[in-house]
Amino acid sequence: MLDADVKKRIIEEYRSHESDTGSTELQVAMITERIRQVTDHLRTHRKDVHSRRGLVTMVSKRRRLLNYLSSEDVSRYQSLIGRLGLRR
């Protein structure tokens, strides 16, 4: 799970307006941070199959959100993957 401080930092950085808590960009940023945490966990615990399955689920959800964003607004999509350092 994300710490409250990390979550607050992500919300401050990726929100589109003052009360934004669920925009597509914000959801992708949260999932990306969680993916990084689980990836680090799996580097030390290689045989943790349950966490690996959760990681695949999160990557799939992020991919679906990014596909949605690219179909809605390509410039927002390009900006987001650039800010997050994702390759596509």
Q: What is the pLDDT of residues 52-63, one digit of tens each?
A: 999 999 999 999
Residues 6+ apart with CB under 8 A from 69: 24, 25, 28, 76, 77, 80
pTM confidence score: 0.92
pLDDT tens-digit readout, 60-77: 999 999 999 999 999 999
Domains, in order of start, for the chain = 4-84 (1.10.287.10)
